[in-house]
């Protein structure tokens, strides 16, 4: 008997918070168990406190020279007992909440490419110059990622993103309040890098970190104002933008306005997959165009960027990485085992300028993963953080979920482009990396929860009989 398949209206997701094993369900219906609802709030508070601890760090407003900055980067190998106890404590607290609550989880982890990538990173630790240091740095990543997705499973993407926005706004207010209260909120004249002098940094360690976080605050608050039309979100967006200008962070200033504009174009295309595909292709060509310009104008760009006072001498730093890759093309140096691993750091054999002795990363997130985990690690990165999220944002955005998908999209694009000039992928517990993880987790959960069309089988013979009658 002949049959055909036809699509009916999208299935309405029954929002019970139950995990079907296939899809994530975002719970919007009220929770009937008061104790479980309390535990959800407890988990949300835990996650907010975790974010604030990551943003503020252990030594806010500390006065540090460039040499001290690099010394701290070198010492940041996972041996900080306080940080270990703090992160493990947050992970255990969230796990305990997960075990004792009665309601089903909001999210079931299924982002397996990220898990596989982490396994590969741990494997690469075995051939690092100091495997124990590499292992501790990889463990930091595992714990931070676990905390993010564990919180997501407990509180769902809406509460997760609300916590992120609240933490960003709290950080913005603290930074503004600190400017007239402490001179350490601005890079002092004693900085070795003269380009830093006078740049605002708030409680952050470096003006580039402050610039990136405040740019992301501008993007998130700007989108919140567009969605909710609350005047205070517009105020926070303006405050964040002015602070970005004060940081003198060129990369963040160039990206933040563009990302807000692009995210609103994306918002306007929520109902048109074809136009969203054109937008995503355009963004991809933009990244490819950056590389093409570098190849076409390499001598001019290298003269500009190689100057340590201009863009931190990025091209000369990239040359160190590329020279190493030319000699070691297959496996990389091992996760976290290229820069600042003591006197035996592989980078030391390829330095071409004295200032690079103080360099703590490649100033390019893609090169950093390539030089440490090899081409396989880079491919996994592109699949997990470029290709798959592009598919989520292409097919998973609807007018109902755009308040989550649009700001998550803006953060994703910002970090994808920022990593062409900075390193934030798997960068320990740094602020931009944790914000990016929250955006990726939100996007993945929202994508999985989107309504899907239902396909029914129709018997053609029965249709003919009805038509004949």
Over residues 381-386, mean pLDDT:
95
Per-residue pLDDT for 167 more than 80?
yes
pLDDT band at 158 (very low <50, low <70, confident <90, very high): very high
User: What is the average pLDDT value for the chain, to the nearest integer?
Assistant: 79
Over residues 94-115, mean pLDDT:
86
Q: Is the distance from CB of 227 to CB of 403 less than 8 angstroms?
A: yes
Per-residue pLDDT for 29 more than 80?
no
Instruction: Quote the distance between the C-alpha of residue 125 and its chain's center.
Output: 23
Q: Is the distance from CB of 308 to CB of 353 less than 8 angstroms?
A: yes
Q: Kindly report the backbone phi and psi dihedral angles of residue 201, in degrees, each rounded to the nearest multiple of 5, phi listed first.
A: -135, -10
Long-range contacts of 304-309 (CB under 8 A, 24+ apart): 306/353, 308/193, 308/353, 308/355, 309/193, 309/194, 309/195
Cα 260 from Cα 250, distance rounded (Å): 16
Per-residue pLDDT for 308 more than 70?
no
Q: Residue 303, CB half-sphere, CA atoms under 13 Å: how many? A: 3
Higher-pLDDT residue of 122 and 32 is 122
Least confident interval from 31-40, 51-60, 66-75, 443-452:
66-75
Q: Which residues lie below 8 Å from residue 366, measured CB to CB, with a gap of 6+?
A: 378, 381, 419, 420, 425
Over residues 124-152, mean pLDDT:
92
Q: In this structure, is the dihedral angle defined by the CA atoms of residues 203, 205, 210 and 211, taken in order, positive or negative?
A: positive
């Amino acid at each position: 008997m002949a049959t055909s398949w036809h699509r009916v209206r999208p299935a309405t997701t029954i929002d019970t918070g139950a995990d079907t094993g296939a899809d994530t369900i975002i719970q919007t219906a009220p929770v009937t168990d008061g104790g479980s609802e309390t535990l959800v709030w407890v988990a949300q508070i835990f996650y907010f406190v975790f974010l604030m601890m990551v943003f503020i760090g252990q030594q806010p407003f500390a006065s540090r020279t460039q040499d001290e900055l690099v010394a701290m980067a070198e010492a940041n190998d996972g041996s900080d007992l306080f940080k270990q106890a703090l992160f493990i404590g947050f992970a255990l607290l969230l796990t305990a909440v997960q075990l004792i609550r009665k309601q089903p989880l909001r999210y079931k982890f299924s982002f397996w490419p990220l898990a596989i990538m982490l396994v590969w990173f741990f494997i690469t630790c075995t051939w690092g110059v100091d495997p124990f240091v590499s292992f501790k740095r990889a463990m930091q990543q595992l714990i931070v990622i676990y905390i993010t997705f564990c919180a997501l499973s407990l509180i769902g993407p809406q509460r997760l993103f609300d916590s992120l926005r609240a933490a960003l706004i709290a950080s913005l207010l603290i930074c503004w309040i600190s400017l007239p209260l402490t001179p350490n909120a601005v890079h002092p004249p004693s900085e070795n890098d003269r380009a830093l002098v006078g740049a605002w940094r708030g409680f952050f360690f470096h003006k580039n970190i402050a610039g990136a976080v405040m740019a992301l605050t501008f993007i998130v608050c700007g989108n919140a104002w567009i969605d909710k039309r609350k005047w205070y979100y517009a105020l926070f967006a303006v405050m964040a933008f002015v602070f970005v200008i004060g940081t003198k962070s060129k990369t963040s200033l160039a990206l933040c306005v563009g990302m807000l504009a692009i995210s609103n174009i994306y918002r306007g295309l929520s109902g048109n997959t074809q136009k969203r595909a054109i937008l995503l292709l355009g963004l991809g060509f933009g990244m490819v165009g950056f590389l093409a310009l570098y190849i076409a104008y390499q001598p001019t760009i290298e003269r500009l960027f190689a100057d340590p006072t201009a863009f931190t001498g990025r091209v000369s730093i990239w040359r160190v990485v590329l020279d190493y890759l030319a000699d070691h093309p297959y496996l990389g140096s091992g996760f976290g085992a290229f820069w600042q691993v003591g006197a035996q750091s592989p980078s030391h054999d390829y330095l071409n300028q004295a200032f690079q002795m103080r360099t703590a990363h490649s100033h390019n997130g893609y090169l950093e993963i390539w030089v440490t985990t090899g081409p396989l690690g880079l491919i996994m990165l592109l699949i997990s953080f470029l290709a798959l999220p592009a598919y989520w944002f292409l097919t998973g955005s609807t007018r109902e979920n755009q308040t989550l998908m649009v700001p998550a999209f803006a953060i994703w694009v910002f970090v994808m482009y920022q990593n062409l000039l900075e390193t934030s992928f798997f960068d320990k517990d740094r602020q931009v990396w944790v914000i990016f993880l929250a955006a990726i987790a939100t996007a993945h959960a929202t994508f999985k929860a989107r309504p899907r069309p239902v396909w029914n089988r129709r018997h053609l013979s029965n249709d003919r009989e009805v038509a004949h009658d």
